[in-house]
Amino acid sequence: ISGAALMDGALFVVAADAKFPQAQDREHLLAAEMCGIKKLIIVQNKIDVVDRERAIENMHEIERFVKGRPVEKAPIIPVSAQHGVNMDLLIETIEKEIPTPKRDPAAPPQMYVLRSFDVNKPGTRVEQLQGGVLGGSIVQGLFRVGDEVEIRPGLRTETGGKTVYQPLFTKIRSIRVSGGEVKEAGPGGLVGLGSSLCPSVTKADSLVGSIVGKEGSLPPVLDKVTLEVQLFERAVGTEELVAVEKIRTNEPLVLNVATAVTSGVVTSAREDIIDVSLRRPICVASNFSASLSRRIGESWRLIGYGRFK
Question: Distance from CA of residue 253 to its chain's centroid?
Answer: 18
Domain at 4-97, CATH from 3.70.10.10, 3.40.50.10540, 3.40.50.300, 3.40.50.10490: 3.40.50.300
- Tell me the mean pLDDT in the region 100-126: 93
- Tell me the mean pLDDT in the region 135-157: 95
- Tell me the mean pLDDT in the region 294-299: 91
Does the pLDDT at position 2 exceed 60?
A: no
Rounded to 5°, the CA angle 253-14-79 comes to 150
Closest by Cα among 105, 104, 108, 134 to 119: 134
**Residue-range domain boundaries for the chain:** 4-97, 110-213, 222-308
More confident residue, 119 or 37: 119
Q: Note whether 79 and 55 are within 8 A (CB).
A: no
Band (239; pLDDT cuts 50, 70, 90): confident
Closest by Cα among 144, 131, 257 to 202: 131
Highest-scoring range by mean pLDDT, 16-25, 148-157, 283-292: 148-157
Band (87; pLDDT cuts 50, 70, 90): very high
Buried b (16+ CB within 10 A) or exposed e, 122-158: eeeeeeeeebbbbbbbbbbbbbebebebbbbbbbeee
Tell me the per-residue pLDDT of 248-296, one tens digit each, with 9 for 90 and over. 999 999 999 888 999 999 999 998 999 999 999 999 877 778 889 999 9
C-alpha 270/C-alpha 273 separation (Å) is: 5
pLDDT at position 64: 95
Ranges 136-150, 181-195, 204-218, 274-288: which has the least confidence: 274-288
- The DSSP-derived string for 210-244 is -EEESTT-SPPPEEEEEEEEEEEEEEES-SS--BP
CATH architecture of the domain covering 110-213: Beta Barrel (2.40)
Fold of 222-308: Elongation Factor Tu (Ef-tu); domain 3 (2.40.30)
Ranges 1-15, 55-69, 203-217: which has the least confidence: 1-15
Does the pLDDT at position 154 exceed 70?
A: yes
pLDDT at position 3: 61
Share of the chain above pLDDT 90, in %: 73
pLDDT at position 4: 64
Band (118; pLDDT cuts 50, 70, 90): very high
pLDDT at position 23: 77
Arithmetic mean of pLDDT over the chain = 92
| 110-213 shares the fold of 4-97 | no
Does the pLDDT at position 5 exceed 70?
A: no
